[in-house]
Amino acid sequence: MTKFGMDRIALRCGMGTILCAYCCSSAAIAQDAAQQFDEIIVTAHKPVDDPTMIASDAASLLATPGDINDPLKALLSLPGITFGGGDLDDPIIRGGGPGDNLFLIDGVPVENVFHELSDSIISPNVIRTFDLHAAAFPPEYGNATGGVIDIGLRDPSATDRRLNIDLSQLKSGLLFETPITDTIAVYGAYRHNLAHLFLKEFERGNDALVFQMPESRDYTGRLIWRRGNTDVTMTAFGSWDKTEDVARDESLANSLGVEQIRQLDAQSLRIRSRLSDRTNFNATLSHSKINQTRRDANGDFLERNANVIAFRGKLSHDAGRHQFTAGVNHQYADNDLSFRGFVPLCDRFEQNCGGPFAAIPTSVNESYQSTELYAGGRIAATNRLTLDLGLHGAIDHFLDETFIEPRIGLSYDINDDLGFYARAGRHHTAPAARDLLIMNNLAGNQESERSTQAMIGQRWNITKGWRLQTEAWFKDFSRTELIGTPLQRTFEGEAYGIDILLAKPISERLYGWAALSLSDGAITDTNTALDVDNQFTPPISATMALTYAFDSGWKVGAKYRIQSGDPFTPLLNVMLDQATGAPLPSFGTPFSERLDNYHRLDIRIEKTAQYGFGDVLYYVDILNVTDRENVANRSFPIPNTLIDPNGATILPNDDEGIPFFIAFGVNFSF
């Protein structure tokens, strides 16, 4: 959890987040050793809880070289967090799949907080905090077994006007902020991706399809009214992404190729009130509109439109050494799905795929609704021992499921520099809305995935700002998929690992960190007793990032990352269904082959300068310095099927990482 200030640095670090080793300092722990580890707020100056604070140098604090001025991309540098082994995939958090995560933006649930280039859909100029909960997270979070990314937006300033312009080959944008009256203030931010103007496509490899550089844009706006101990906030944000794969062989352009567009528009109304010196109330009502379209070169298409209404309310009370919280989360989603062609539904092994084959357009409409109630308490047994007790209850009205999930935590500080902590809990994840829609009449028969999770860790302030943190974690899961279909299977599995982070917080000269993750896991098909590796547990993942600040505003930083190649399932042959004409692929043992290891080196050079009109930051990002061809994952998409008189062939598709690229940028702050 991170807060930024222009003249002060405030970092709030989660107990379940290895990022704390980079954030927290021994001085702050000594200042308030009685607090739970995940509630320590560390500042370079006097602690300030100002909801309007954000630093224009947020990128230099958390965005390591290669992160393109985007603080959320720092997640990729943390132990236990990967993006499927590549640069463009959704985050994989400690053994959980991309669809097992919960994303929140200021209390608004969204399906993803990243663009197709894995940069966040929220401008760093308006981010106040972001919480990463990687395992056994607190009771206020539900419907997630992978991890939780909870972004908090800052409030507009009631006194200062600000204009920030950022120009870069990768992404450009602006922010404008101003008070309107003594009680009303507003800001707006807009960004547009320009990378497609300078790098058209990822041309390397022998893939059937050539991946075009994604196009994207996003916006964020906020208006706040303050009166006494209460404020009312209206927020709007949204994003738009376009990706396109075109046939490498022009003669196949009419049969191979796909264009995908994803759009999000969200609005929220938040009421935040201090009911007393010790009691706070926070409630957010939001509406989100989601549109996803996919159009294949052969005329097949899929379009999903969803309207989501959500409410999240929380009451917290500070009883001296103890704190208590209670709240409710409710979500209603109306979904429409239209498609033509073969829409696959794949199991956990991603080797068996089936689904409807509609020669004419087919439409499905369904509404999904869930309610969550939670309560928790933090009890300080002694000045050094703290106990967390929580309970999360949930009802999935569509699947007719009820969950009662305990969450517990323990923190003990041996002294001001050495402490231990542990957490455990039960969690669940419902099937994705898209999959439920495709299953249509069988959707109500499906079940959520269940998971038990635990973690234990230590943090040690070594010397001169250096900090060592180690966390060992475990997750299991059980899930029956595609119930009522010939592909029905029950899967059980586990993931476990150890994450190590040695870090030195930001300082006047040298700062950075070294992160190492070791993980493993297995998945079992209980129907056949087939046991395979868990595809979401790379054996080794390591990152080293260092930045050195010279005199006169110069900084040079570098980041090197290495990770085990992702496993994939080899394709053996392809048959055609005689009744429908749909391709029926036959695969080998799931995840029995592995891609080459991932390597990437990024460098960043920047120079800050002050002029009479404002501050200017000049920067150069050099991505993938060695121009290594990193294949993130290998798949055999059904749309890549070629049919001839002798049978059918599915051409492989490799998702490649970002090639060598140099981006120049300049940031003006007035």
Half-sphere exposure of 271 (CA within 13 A, CB side): 7
* Average pLDDT of span 112-127: 87
What tokens appear for 182 in the block?
Answer: 């003594």
* More confident: 70 or 520: 520
Q: What is the pLDDT of residues 61-97, one digit of tens each?
A: 455 677 766 767 777 677 888 776 566 667 889 999 8
Confidence of residue 379 (pLDDT cuts 50, 70, 90): very high
pLDDT at residue 367 in the model: 95
CA-only gyration radius of the chain, Å:
25
Q: What is the pLDDT of residues 309-366, one digit of tens each?
A: 999 999 999 998 899 999 999 999 999 999 998 887 888 887 777 777 777 788 999 9
Give 529: exposed, middle or buried? Use CB within 10 Å, 0-12, 13-18, 19+: exposed
At 371, the amino acid letter reads: T
Give residues with Cβ within 8 angstroms of 521, minimum separation 6. 95, 493, 494, 495, 496, 533, 534, 536, 537
The predicted model scores a pTM of 0.88
- Residue 640 to residue 257: CA distance in whole angstroms: 8
Q: Does the structural domain 2-669 have CATH classification 2.40.170.20?
A: yes
Nearest to 10, CA basis, from 45, 37, 59, 60: 45
* Average pLDDT of span 166-187: 93
Give 250: exposed, middle or buried? Use CB within 10 Å, 0-12, 13-18, 19+: exposed
Contact 218, 204 (CB under 8 A): no
Q: What is the 3-state secondary structure (H, E, C) of 340-380?
A: EEECCEECCCCCCEECCEEEEEEEEEEEEEEEEEEEEEEEE
* Average pLDDT of span 571-591: 84
Give 510: exposed, middle or buried? Use CB within 10 Å, 0-12, 13-18, 19+: exposed
- Residue 418 to residue 460: CA distance in whole angstroms: 5
pLDDT at residue 204 in the model: 61
Q: Let me know the angle formed at the C-alpha of 144 by 534 and 217, rounded to the nearest 5 degrees.
A: 95
- Residue 66 to residue 352: CA distance in whole angstroms: 37
Nearest to 620, CA basis, from 56, 61, 69, 6: 69
* Average pLDDT of span 47-65: 51
pLDDT value at 420 more than 80: yes
* Average pLDDT of span 209-219: 89
pLDDT value at 206 more than 70: no
In the sheet that 102-105 helps form, which strands lie side by side, from edge to edge? Answer: 108-110, 102-105, 148-153, 127-133
pLDDT at residue 84 in the model: 64
pLDDT value at 498 more than 60: yes
How many other CB atoms sit within 10 Å of the CB of residue 319? 12
Chain-centre distance for alpha carbon 427: 18
pLDDT value at 427 more than 70: yes
User: Any idea which of 65-79, 148-162, 516-530, 555-569 has the lowest mean pLDDT?
Assistant: 65-79
Q: What is the pLDDT of residues 536-569, one digit of tens each?
A: 999 999 999 888 989 888 999 999 999 998 888 8
Nearest to 107, CA basis, from 313, 317, 307: 313
Contact 280, 316 (CB under 8 A): yes
pLDDT at residue 312 in the model: 98
- Residue 302 to residue 293: CA distance in whole angstroms: 6
- Residue 251 to residue 257: CA distance in whole angstroms: 12
Q: Average pLDDT, whole number, for the chain?
A: 84
pLDDT value at 20 more than 60: no
Partner residues linked to 387 by β-bridges: 379, 410
Helices (H) and strands (E) in the chain, counts: 4, 44
pLDDT at residue 503 in the model: 82
pLDDT at residue 207 in the model: 67
**Helix, strand or coil for residue 193?**
strand
* More confident: 483 or 15: 483
Q: What is the pLDDT of residues 447-456, one digit of tens each?
A: 999 999 999 9
pLDDT value at 583 more than 70: yes
In the chain, the percentage of residues whose pLDDT exceeds 90 is 52
How many other CB atoms sit within 10 Å of the CB of residue 404? 10
